[in-house]
Chains A and B, each alone.
Chain A
């Protein structure tokens, strides 16, 4: 029984770890898109202002 509980705990830990990885991927992708858009918007506005 102890072994079964240990296995379940290990399974849960593994699942949690992968959920953490998935959130990490989502945060990184969203962060990159945000950086891209802000950097592009600022530089484009400067260029339009220059023109």
Chain B
């Protein structure tokens, strides 16, 4: 029997969603300032309207839903998933008003793609959008990478036991510090430190290839945000290929691979536990799966003999597999080349890399290396159980920040999430095939959306059918929040109607 949520439950969800919406409005101050600096008055007005909508909705929700109660697990989960939807609808206002979108749905698609660090986009004429809108796109993906709940925990929400439940609802479980607010601040410290270092390096690289100083700086900050958050947004439609620079590509590679690692791993290495980088199950798992998927892709590329030397294989093959594996979505070639130029084996290698994804509690999506490692260890444990006497106890350990004894519940939880991802990838693929797209393109873009990668075979475009756009939005949302909080929201809505 399901219990119907009471008014008090709805109030808690409304109160915290209101705080998060105000946070989104505050974020818009940055692109608004950029628009003012570059005298883009129309874009500045779009942000004023967007901020007005966010502040009005946020304060209205907080006033109407005033309560002193703290969040339970159910509330935390529902707030996490619901607030992402509300943030998408309100954050899309400046996008839509810019006139670069065919419909409000397209603007919402780009918003969800930004928040979830996916990188697919339906924006038209990307090469001629305002500096303000470009800043908003990249800031979204940078903020979404840390998590919009993390933003709220840093600036808007006072410390409470319930705060941790919202944080978990956003698909993060690691506590870098004993307190969740301190954890959120530590996440920002790591991200902002890398923002400073990475942007400076990219700025220099931009100047070296002859870009004008201010433009080079803006591109450096945006490209950093797209790389670190494993988002894949770039200010030009030709993405990273626009810069025609091997050095620029290597810098982005290093940034997005570091960005795809667990914040707990960063924190451990930063605070003295240097060995964590090669002992952690996620880095080991990442190294092995990267090598395997890269080998599949490299062999596939050799079949067609497209690239003649190692440098070309590195800049095209390795770059895209690493971009897919870290779920970044940066590219140095046109989308259709995955289908028309690469062999199917090379494309499949990239699809597997995207599906696996990178680390848990990072900016990345996909199954996550932690789960791949746990499932592999579980397999080893089962084989050991088979070959040992039935009474033998077979302990298997894995190292993730600390040594942990592998239990059946670890393997079961990992399998359930991986199965959910496979189901989600399949749903988008089948729908793509239903609408007449070829099988490989349908699988490619569905996995890309569900794993929050952003590489595209050319299917994701303003011309695709609206139901497919809605399914991709849902895939990006589910993939980023890792299902549980979305199941909680669905349960909450059903029990509102059918509960007793």
Contacts and interface: CB of A to CB of B under 8 A. Distances in A.
Given A28-B261, A47-B299, A47-B313, A39 B254 contact: no
Contacts of B272: 20
B298 A25 contact: no
B253 A36 contact: yes
Which range contains the number of A residues in contact with the other chain?
A: 20 to 34
User: Most chain-B Cβ atoms within 10 A of its Cβ — which of A29, A47, A48?
Assistant: A47
Contacts of B261: 28
B258 A28 contact: yes
Contacts, number: 78
- Tell me the dominant secondary structure on chain A's binding face: helix
A21 B274 CA distance: 11
Contacts of B301: 47
B277 interface: yes
A39 B291 contact: yes
Contacts of B257: 32, 35-36
A40 B258 contact: no
Contacts of A47: 295, 298-299, 301-302, 313
Given A32-B254, A51-B302, A42 B271 contact: no
Contacts of A27: 269, 274, 277
B197 interface: yes
Given A36-B322, A40-B314, A44-B298, A31 B291 contact: no
Interface in B266-324: 266, 269-272, 274, 277-278, 283, 286-287, 290-291, 294-295, 297-299, 301-302, 305, 310, 313-314, 318, 322
Interface residues on B, range: 20 to 34
B193 to A, nearest CB: 6
Contacts of A43: 291, 294-295, 297-298, 318
A25 B286 CA distance: 19
B260 to A, nearest CB: 10
B295 A42 contact: yes
Interface string A12-51: 0000000011011101110111011011101110111011
A23 B273 CA distance: 11
A46 to B, nearest CB: 5
Given A24-B270, A31-B277, A32-B258, A44 B313 contact: yes
B348 to A, nearest CB: 15
A39 B294 contact: yes
Q: Most chain-A Cβ atoms within 10 A of its Cβ — which of B261, B270, B272?
A: B270
A46 B258 contact: no
B194 interface: yes
A34 to B, nearest CB: 9
A34 B424 CA distance: 34
A5 B313 CA distance: 58
A25 B295 CA distance: 29
Given A24-B269, A32-B257, A40-B294, A50 B193 contact: no
A28 B277 CA distance: 7
Nearest to B265: A28
Q: Which of B197, B297, B301, B310 has the most CB of A within 10 A?
A: B310
B287 A35 contact: yes
Given A28-B266, A38-B291, 13 more contacts: A21-B193, A24-B266, A25-B197, A29-B258, A31-B283, A36-B318, A36-B322, A40-B294, A43-B295, A43-B297, A43-B318, A44-B314, A46-B298
14 contacts: A20-B270, A24-B269, A25-B197, A27-B277, A32-B254, A35-B283, A35-B286, A36-B254, A39-B290, A39-B294, A40-B318, A43-B294, A51-B302, A51-B305
